[in-house]
Amino acid sequence: MSTPSEAKTIAIVAYLTMVGALIAMSMNAEPKHDFGRFHTRQAFGLHLGFLGFALFLSVWFNEYAWIGLYVAYISLWLYGFSGALQGKKREVPLVGAAFQKWFAFIG
């Protein structure tokens, strides 16, 4: 089964920044694509998690924690983004299943 190009575009846009995730939500309003919704949830969770940890680290500065945050974020982002490019629904490791539950409101 091939992924419609519109759904693939939505999935790719979602990974571009937090603003891209918000744009992808509005792009997927009508018609709703399951593939676009899946990747929008994954990307939204990654961006939100990164921003949350970055805010925490801005108060509690630790150079190694920042490096760890960036390595984790970029690794998970690349995994999710490559899945979107390939047209596959792959949850990001460790947190992908939780993102699908927590962000079920993204439809």
pLDDT of residue 32: 87
Whether residue 107 is contained in a domain is answered as: no
The DSSP result for the chain, as a single string, is: -PPPHHHHHHHHHHTS-HHHHHHHHHHTSSS--HHHHHHHHHHHHHHHHHHHHHHHHHHS--HHHHHHHHHHHHHHHHHHHHHHHHT---PPTTTHHHHHHHTTT--
pLDDT of residue 62: 86
Mean pLDDT, the chain cut into blocks of 10 residues (107 residues total): 81 94 90 92 96 92 92 97 94 94 88
pLDDT of residue 1: 47
Whether residue 55 is contained in a domain is answered as: yes
Its domain, for residue 65, covers: 5-102
User: What pTM did the predictor assign?
Assistant: 0.90
Whether residue 95 is contained in a domain is answered as: yes
In the chain, how many domains are there?
1
